[in-house]
Structure 1
Amino acid sequence: MEKLTVGKMTITWLRGGVTHMDGGAMFGVVPKPLWSRKYPSNEKNQIELRTDPFLIQLDGQNILVESGIGNGRFTDKQKRNYGISEESFLEDDLQSLGLTVADIDAVLMTHLHFDHASGLAKQKEGEWVSTFENAVIYASAREWAEMREPNIRSRNTYWEQNWRPVEQQVVTFEKEQEIIPGIRMIHTGGHSDGHSIIVIEHEGETFIHLADIMPTHAHQNVLWVLAYDDYPMDSIFAKQKWQAFASEQEAWYLFYHDYKYRAIKWNDEGEIVASIERTPTSYK
């Protein structure tokens, strides 16, 4: 597991599963000869998109960002459609840290699409139950509302079995929510109406998780947004705003989906000046 430690805070990436989605959809109107220079694809034109939550440990709190795709959540047809090659090893990775899912104090959900939220629930004795039974689950009010009443476009990604078991644990916010001092969730819209980002400030360092308005390092260009985005212009405006903030703060970018990088720092010329790369692992 890859870690980033600053002062009293440690960020650890866990294995939440692996999907492969259509490269054209993930880069929208950007031609393949351009995006393929920055991110590889397979013979089906799919790109590897990990679903790896990261655990923030600070001030005695265990805070999980995103939840992975869980286990046993997909039919064989869905596994083919979403290119799922591995399911979650999150509980194994927590165990290696001396933790269990019961030790998670909060789960920060930037949005509630299936590839972020399927790890929130699991089956126990034939019933769907909360995976993180003691956690407060944070999401924007707009996202939570659409999760429960999806529209014709979003109903394929917002699943009742992902929200029904956790509805008593969910805390929502309108514009911004401070989780603990130094960790904020901020509503941006764009990828979904309720999409949020996470900003962490600790001992002079800044970290930013732009989630699916910038799902991989190859989406650094402010105009490279997803065909999956419900409001692409909102994604562009949010990327402009928060990339400027990140540049000013010399911030680390943190990733959930990237096949190669866990975290990156860029300089003002767009060059990588620091990074944490994912170490390939053999799944059990």
Structure 2
Amino acid sequence: MTNEQPSHDQITDILTQVHSSDLLTSFIHAYNQEQAESEEQQTIHKLYKQNTADEIQILKSQLEAEKRLVASQQESLAQQTEDLKKAAKAIEDAQTLAKTTTAQLNQITTLKQQLEAAQQAVRELKQLNPEKLKEQIKRTKEANVKAQARNKKLMLEAKEYRKTIAHHEQRYNECINKIRQQKAELEHNTGAGLYHKGKDHLIIWPQKTKMARPDGSMFESRSLLYLHQSGRGGLVTFDPETGAQLCAAPKGGLRMADETIEYAKDWLFTVNELQDGVVHDKDMIPVNHNL
């Protein structure tokens, strides 16, 4: 038996056949796998589309159901609103009827009371015989006459009272005016301070004073008391012939008599120490030794 070795061309041809078979097998396997994946994707896509369509249908059904529910609720609300309006109208009508009924009942009660009073008056009149009725009428007339007389008397008394009141009001007003006048006069005659500047002070002298001129003639006028801050002062008189002027100091200077000094001491001690500066009526009693 002969052991022949294959030629190079034979080996190449064999390798080529083997290689082509492997490629075909790989191609078929890849194609089948791709077809399987494509079918799987188509199945998934079909299922997805089916699920989406089902969900849309469910949502549509839910939406339609909600629409029907809302429409039903709106219809029910409209019916309830209408029922409430009818109920409110019925209540209003009932209240009006109740008020009308109450007013009518009150009116009926009043009419019943008036009827009962009239019936009672009729019964009382029926019980009176003509003589008693005449006596009652007579007593009523007499009472009426007395009442009219009493009323007339009261009217006359009221008229007199009004006159008395008017008279007293007039007297009261006169007294008020008199008090005002006296108050004004008192303010003008109490030595009130009138003018103050620096060390000079002018005070109203409370009464008219009689003064002597150098030739011995006399004149009378209201005066002002001039006081220096030191306490010294004098009267400023008004002479119709020469006008206003400060009175001259007497010869030998201004000196008070012992009795005058004593009176001033007593008066000032009483008012300042005993009465705390308050002047009473008794302190204003004048002491005039020139009368």
| Superposition TM-score, scaled by structure 1 size | 0.18
User: Larger helix proportion, structure 1 or 2?
Assistant: 2
The structure with more radius of gyration? 2
Bigger RCO (CA 8 Å, 6+ sep):
1
TM-score (norm 2): 0.18
